[in-house]
């Protein structure tokens, strides 16, 4: 792979030249940024769960604030890595314009990397997958089992439903503003957000290669992805910038989850300190010399005392996490540069932290969040409620969509349910369904339902559930 091809500014639809006295001096990737922040899909992230569903605190992160943090970190990593490539002559064709383009692409990618996620966080994805695994085998269309009508890949799309794949679908098709090409973003940006460049039938979480862990696109977007991969020269390999985006995401959520958990009272300063001290008992001497995590936390607590800070524990935890982020950014930069040739050849199989001093700490932070937040009773209660909401919506809307846009008359209530679905999504469905076989049209109607459900905010999903079930 080479950077000139990887940074392709090509779009599905070429913008028409507009007359006027002013000249647009923005690069194609800067134009992407403005398209994203002006979109309704991006704004909806402000009411979508990061960790704590339907939380009323204005401090706890949402998908929107998380995405902004990822965007900032990704751009910083892009600056560090690009500067190293330039200064050390790792690629004689790499220039300053490429550095600027990389930073702009990563900034945009951070904003949209979670844009396809359903309401209620990652649990929403699990609920959708489980519903289809339980119910698709029971569904019939014109007397035939749906599982016999749909192809293996179509079925696997629903059984392994992924917010990552939905993100590509959303920005490339569902944001129906001008036409069926959605936001019409550049191919370089679209490829960067495809974390897993494999379809649902080829995913293999046990392959040892990070790119096979999940699916990256639905059957409906397979042709589009192939065009993107051909244009950018990845040919089914991970785009190099995807490694950077993933590292930025990991840095953002693994530090933010600890901070949010502290604010919610799920973990205390003393508990965090004990966890870090226990970790250092097994860490190597070089890891401890590079970053003494427990020591940094203690130092921040002592500094709070010297500064006469009222809440020493809050000060210590927050400033400790700032230092952790800086260390992780340095390690991710090293991870990319140290494996530069493998990444550019498409043979690197791991995340950027795997062979750095940050590997152990990253695993610890994730483990702490899991034990003190994700498997606690408050989260369990919220997830049970979310499951009830999502299952109710899927029960109703899948039944209504089965015979939508067919010769079979729908019941009055089914027509009313379809009327609730956004016209943008229905327009995108009709654009894609035109000229397709009956089986593919059925597949697209099921996707129409997941499009609608994934587009819901947490609050809308909850309020719609209450309205449809007569709950005042």
Tell me the helices (H) and strands (E) count for the chain, helix number first. Answer: 23, 2
Average pLDDT estimate for 418-424: 94
Alpha-carbon distance of 207 to 263, in angstroms, equals 38
Q: Say yes or no to pLDDT of 272 above 70.
A: yes
pTM exceeds 0.85 for this model: yes
**215-268 confidence digits (pLDDT tens):** 999 999 999 999 999 999 998 899 999 999 999 999 999 999 999 889 888 899
Tell me how far the alpha carbon of residue 149 is from its chain's centroid.
31
CB burial of 10-44 (b: ≥16 within 10 Å; e: otherwise) equals ebbeeeeeeeeeeeeeebbbebbbebbeebebbeb
Which tokens in the block code for residue 471?
Answer: 């709950």
pLDDT at 17: 45
In the chain, % of residues over pLDDT 90: 83
Q: Single out the residue of 365, 268, 361, 369 nearest to residue 314, CA to CA.
A: 268
Compute the Cα dihedral for 360, 361, 362, 363 and give only its sign.
positive
How confident is the model over 299-313, as a mean pLDDT? 95
Sorted by sequence, the CB contacts under 8 Å of residue 97 that are 6+ apart come out as: none
Q: Which letter does DSSP use for residue 87 in this model?
A: H
Q: What mean pLDDT, rounded, does the chain reach?
A: 93
Task: Say what percent of the chain tops pLDDT 70.
Answer: 95
Reply yes or no on whether the pLDDT at 432 is more than 90.
Answer: yes
């Amino acid at each position: 792979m080479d950077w000139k091809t990887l940074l392709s500014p090509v779009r599905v639809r070429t913008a028409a030249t507009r007359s006027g006295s002013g000249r647009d001096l923005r690069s194609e990737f800067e134009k992407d940024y403005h398209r994203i922040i002006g979109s309704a899909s991006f704004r909806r992230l402000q009411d979508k769960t990061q960790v704590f569903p339907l939380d009323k605190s204005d401090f706890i992160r949402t998908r929107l604030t998380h995405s902004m943090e990822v965007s900032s970190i990704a751009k910083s990593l892009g600056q560090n890595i690009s500067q190293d490539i330039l200064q050390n002559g790792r690629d004689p064709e790499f220039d300053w314009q490429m550095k600027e383009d990389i930073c702009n692409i990563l900034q945009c990618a951070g904003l949209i990397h979670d844009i396809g996620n359903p309401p209620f966080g990652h649990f929403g994805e699990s609920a959708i997958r489980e519903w289809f695994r339980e119910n698709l085998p029971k569904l019939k269309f014109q007397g035939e089992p749906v599982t016999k009508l749909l192809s293996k890949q179509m079925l696997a799309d629903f059984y392994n439903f992924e917010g990552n794949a939905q993100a590509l679908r959303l920005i490339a098709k569902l944001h129906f503003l001008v036409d069926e090409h959605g936001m019409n973003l550049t191919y370089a940006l679209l490829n960067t957000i495809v974390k897993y460049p494999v379809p649902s039938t080829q995913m293999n979480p046990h392959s040892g290669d990070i790119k096979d862990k999940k699916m990256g696109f639905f059957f409906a977007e397979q042709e589009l992805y192939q065009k993107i991969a051909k244009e950018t020269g990845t040919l089914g390999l991970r785009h190099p910038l995807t490694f950077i985006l993933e590292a930025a995401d990991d840095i953002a959520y693994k530090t933010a989850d600890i901070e949010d958990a502290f604010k919610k009272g799920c973990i205390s300063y003393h508990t965090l300190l004990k966890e870090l001290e226990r970790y250092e008992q097994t860490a190597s001497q070089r890891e401890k010399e590079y970053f003494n995590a427990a020591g940094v936390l203690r130092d921040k607590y002592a500094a709070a005392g010297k500064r006469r800070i009222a809440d020493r524990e809050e000060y210590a935890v927050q400033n400790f996490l700032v230092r952790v982020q800086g260390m992780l950014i340095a390690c991710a930069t090293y991870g990319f540069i140290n494996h530069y040739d493998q990444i550019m050849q498409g043979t690197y199989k791991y995340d950027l932290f795997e062979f750095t001093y940050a590997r152990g700490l990253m695993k610890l932070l994730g483990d702490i969040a899991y034990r003190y937040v994700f498997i606690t009773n408050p989260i369990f209660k919220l997830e049970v409620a979310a499951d009830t909401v999502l299952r109710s919506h899927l029960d109703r809307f899948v039944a209504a969509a089965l015979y939508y846009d067919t010769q079979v008359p729908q019941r009055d209530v089914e027509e009313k349910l379809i009327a609730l679905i956004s016209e943008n999504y229905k327009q995108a469905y009709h654009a894609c369904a035109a000229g397709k076989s009956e089986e593919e049209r059925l597949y697209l109607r099921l996707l129409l339902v997941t499009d609608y459900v994934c587009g819901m905010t947490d609050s809308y999903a909850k309020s719609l559930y209450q309205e449809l079930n007569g709950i005042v």
